[in-house]
Amino acid sequence: MGPHAPSASHGEGRTARRIGAAPALFVLLTAVAVLAGCASSATTGPASSSSARSPAPAASTAITARTFTSRHYGYTEAQPRDWYSGGQATEQWDGKGAPGDEDSVVDLFHGPNGLEAWVTAAPTKKSLAAYARTTTRAAAAEHPCPAVPQTDQATTIGGAPARLLGVQCPPGSGFLVETAVTIHDGTGFVFTSQNPTGSGDKGADRAAFRRFLAGVRFQ
């Protein structure tokens, strides 16, 4: 309506002059047109204001997208800036064996400089120490990894006690594999990391994996 108002007022002004109307009538009509234009501007004001605020929801969506929620395993991961999801598990792990990064039962993540991490979980009645031993032995049975970890450190994941295990796989190769295990509400969680390129900076890879673990929360 606003864009048409000036043209209507000019037409009415010309008509008024043709029929010899008093100048006051022309002034009155012009004032009405101006008021109509103001009303139109007032109507469009809120829409423009809403449009100016539109980036806020987009920013909120971007923040939400950084939080990964597992469909199968009851945890969330607040992904560090240099990590992103490589895909959800398409089926649930039965607790047997030692799944690798390409298995359908793992939640996969990609980190900096080629680093990977993957997550599985299954019910268990074992203690944390026993679960850590079972996890290491299962990896040794299916992969060229030692049955005894070369490093074994106490840590926490999502506030729960955990063990952080490190091995060279195969032994002596310099190919670092780190596995963090914890138990939460009767579920054993296994978080594994490796750099498939075999040429990563091990210190940087360790630090990146610890940043990843710091973002884990259990539901």
Higher pLDDT, 197 or 110: 110
CB contact at 8 A, 213 and 157: yes
pLDDT category of residue 49 using cuts at 50, 70 and 90: very low
pLDDT of residue 172: 81
pLDDT above 90 covers what percent of the chain? 61
Residue whose C-alpha is closest to residue 104's, from 86, 116, 124: 86
Phi first, then psi: what are they for 179, rounded to 5°? -130, 125
Please enumerate in sequence order all residues whose Cβ is within 8 A of that of 17, keeping only pairs 6 or more positions apart, or say none.
Answer: 26
Residue 60 has pLDDT above 90, yes or no: no
Distances (CA, A) of 205 to 33, 83, 196, 201: 70, 12, 11, 6
Mean pLDDT across 164-175: 89
The larger pLDDT score, comparing residue 33 to residue 94, is at 94
Structure tokens, 123: 């019910």
> Any alpha helices (H) in the chain, and if so which ranges?
4-18, 23-52, 55-65, 128-142, 202-214
CB 72 within 8 A of CB 81: no
pLDDT value of position 7: 37
pLDDT at 116: 97
The whole-model pTM stands at: 0.71
pLDDT digits (tens, 9 = 90+) for 179-211: 999 999 999 999 999 998 877 799 999 999 999
Cα–Cα nearest to 121, from 153, 73, 84: 73
What does the pLDDT read at residue 101?
Answer: 94
Q: In terms of CATH architecture, what is 64-218?
A: 3-Layer(aba) Sandwich (3.40)
Those residues with Cβ within 8 angstroms of residue 154's Cβ, 6 or more apart along the chain or in another chain: 161, 162, 163, 164
Statement: residue 21 has pLDDT above 70: no
Q: Which pLDDT score is estimated for 8?
A: 38
Q: 152 near 128, Cβ under 8 Å?
A: no
Phi, psi of 216 (to 5 degrees): -80, 135
Is 192 or 49 the better-scoring residue by pLDDT? 192
If we measure between CA atoms, which residue out of 38, 189, 47 comes closest to residue 107? 189
- The single-letter DSSP state of residue 113 is G
Residue 11 has pLDDT above 50, yes or no: no
Cβ-based neighbour number of residue 93 at 10 Å:
20
- For residues 191 and 59, what is the distance between their CA atoms, to the nearest angstrom? 30
> What does the pLDDT average to over 114-134?
97
pLDDT digit string, tens, across residues 133-143 = 999 999 999 99
What percentage of the chain has pLDDT greater than the value 70? 70
pLDDT confidence band for 65 (50 / 70 / 90): low
